[in-house]
Amino acid sequence: MSSSVKGMRDLLGDELRWFQRIEEAVHRVFGAHGYREIRTPILEYTEVFKRSVGDSSDIVNKEMYEFLDKGNRSVTMRPENTAGVVRAMVDHKLLVNNDPQLFYYMGPMFRYERMQAGRYRQFWQIGAESFGVASPESEAESLVMLFDFLQGLGLKSLSLSLNSVGTPESRPAFNAAFRAFFDARANHFCEDCHRRIETNPMRILDCKNPGCQAALEGHPTIVEFLDEASKAHHTRLKELLTALDIPFTENPRLVRGLDYYTRTAFEVLSSDLGAQSALLGGGRYDGLVKMLGGPDTAAFGWAIGLDRLAMVLKQLQGDAPFDPPALLIPLGEKASAEAIRLAREWWGKGLSIQLETRGCPLKKALQSANRTGVKLALILGEGELEKGTVAVKHLDTGEQEEWSLEETALNLGGKGTRS
């Protein structure tokens, strides 16, 4: 018997209901802020990610599902979606006037990495991207939207971990100081860090090796080398966050895992489950659009793993709310024809009805209903046909009663409550 590919799984039941609840909140909250949905292809040319994510990143070096298609072209199953969204903005010439463009997305991503709790090789992400606005105010607005979204789902203990990674122009001075620091204690750093010092020294700050983190004690910080404009930007964002009551702490080692960030980099931390952990991250990437062939465009965005968010919400709140439809059970051929007509009428009124179509005995139909969580069974037999009623069985209590067809439509409209 075949099974799913390692690291990829089916979504169903309570986990899928959490996904759907989160997705509904995304459409509602992000839409209210003027963001529009975008859906990009799962497959992109590999160059899209190598040019944007960066050759020094673990994603490009270790984790991409990259292969040659039948035309001998290198394609990649998207490991993240910011690069794909930017590619779409350039393809459709949406940025030629540098007008603000606000988009959000939801969909599967793919990374060949070690699996952990809430992390899979096929995983789902939600993201929001803002193009054409360079101000700290645009970042603050996006973060307000993000916090409102998360708090609306029931997360309360949230805070920001914040840093500025400067600009490509200010980075050489930091790199020189950091290289001197690194060389003085090089034997304390791992093999990956020795590779990163040659390609992107800043990425060493992001190394998860405990020994490397210990060796970083006293390292030069990026904010010491910021240009005046980046300093002013960072200061203004912190002022806005304070005014908006969004808690934050500065983290000089926060650089994120992608090479395209400039100025603001952040993570959202949650202690809702006890120990504080990162839920998501993002930041500013003003050079990415030009890197992918578009005009010089300011941009800011973030992404959150839907799998992990659903897992956290389930741990906090239990099963996602589930209101199963009523089950209409006809008894006999004449009742079956009428049941289909009735169900169609009720579906047209927006009512939730599941129709039993197997023609099985009542006892078997009720047993199936109990196993699948149905709470209300509507039974239509010859007697009910003659009277214009349905027999109603409340499966959670065992109580039985009779409703007229008019009462049934009214009561189902009230989510199954009796009049």
Same domain, residue pair 91 and 74: yes
Query: Does 202 map to a domain?
Result: no
Compute the distance between CA of residue 246 and CA of residue 146 in angstroms, rounded to an integer.
Answer: 11
DSSP state of 294: S
Compute the distance between CA of residue 377 and CA of residue 384 in angstroms, rounded to an integer.
Answer: 14
Same domain, residue pair 281 and 342: no
Q: Give the model's pLDDT for residue 177.
A: 93
Q: Quick count: other Cβ atoms within 10 Å of Cβ 140?
A: 19
Same domain, residue pair 349 and 252: no
C-alpha to C-alpha distances, 183 to 48, 56, 193, 322, nearest whole angstrom: 34, 19, 11, 58
Q: How confident is the model at residue 57 (pLDDT cuts 50, 70, 90)?
A: low
Minimum mean pLDDT range among 57-71, 74-88, 341-355: 57-71
If we measure between CA atoms, which residue out of 169, 386, 118, 139 comes closest to residue 278?
Answer: 118
Query: Does 71 map to a domain?
Result: yes
State the pTM of this model. Answer: 0.86
Q: Which two tokens stand for residue 116?
A: 């952990």
Q: Give the model's pLDDT for residue 170.
A: 85
Q: What's 54's domain CATH number? A: 3.30.930.10
Query: Does 213 map to a domain?
Result: no
Q: What's 364's domain CATH number? A: 3.40.50.800
Same domain, residue pair 258 and 332: no
Same domain, residue pair 287 and 406: no
In DSSP terms, 380 is beta-bridged to 330
Same domain, residue pair 35 and 113: yes
Using the structure block, give the residue that is written with the tokens 């529009």: 36
Q: Which helix (H) or strand (E) holds 161?
A: strand 158-164
Compute the distance between CA of residue 171 and CA of residue 165 in angstroms, rounded to an integer.
Answer: 8
Q: Give the model's pLDDT for residue 286.
A: 92
Q: Note whether 417 and 403 are within 8 A (CB).
A: no
Q: Whole domain around residue 403: which residue ranges?
A: 326-413
Q: How confident is the model at residue 281 (pLDDT cuts 50, 70, 90)?
A: very high
Q: How confident is the model at residue 415 (pLDDT cuts 50, 70, 90)?
A: very low
Segment 338-375, tens digit of pLDDT: 999 999 999 999 999 999 999 999 999 999 999 999 99
Same domain, residue pair 343 and 310: no
Query: Does 187 map to a domain?
Result: no
Query: Does 131 map to a domain?
Result: yes
Q: How many domains does the chain have?
A: 2
Segment 91-139, tens digit of pLDDT: 999 998 879 999 999 999 999 987 776 678 999 999 999 999 999 999 9
* Angle CA 283–287–291, to nearest 5: 130
C-alpha to C-alpha distances, 322 to 22, 366, 372, 414, nearest whole angstrom: 14, 19, 11, 15
Same domain, residue pair 38 and 115: yes
Q: Which helix (H) or strand (E) holds 108?
A: strand 101-110
Give the strand order in the sheet containing 101-110: 36-37, 101-110, 122-131, 299-305, 277-284, 262-270, 158-164, 248-250
Handedness of CA 67, 70, 74, 75 (dihedral sign): negative
Q: Greatest CA separation found in the chain? A: 93
Q: Note whether 10 and 129 are within 8 A (CB).
A: no
Same domain, residue pair 60 and 100: yes
**Residue 128 amino acid letter:** A
Q: Note whether 314 and 14 are within 8 A (CB).
A: yes
Burial status of residue 397 (CB atoms within 10 A of its CB: 0-12, 13-18, 19 or more) = exposed
Query: Does 82 map to a domain?
Result: yes
Compute the distance between CA of residue 35 and CA of residue 129 in angstroms, rounded to an integer.
Answer: 9
Ranked by mean pLDDT, the top range of 239-243, 253-257, 258-262 is 239-243
Compute the distance between CA of residue 323 and CA of residue 147 in angstroms, rounded to an integer.
Answer: 28
In the chain, count H helices and then E strands. Answer: 15, 16
Segment 373-398, tens digit of pLDDT: 999 999 999 999 999 999 999 999 99
In DSSP terms, 114 is beta-bridged to none
Q: How confident is the model at residue 272 (pLDDT cuts 50, 70, 90)?
A: confident
Choose between 367 and 53: higher pLDDT: 367
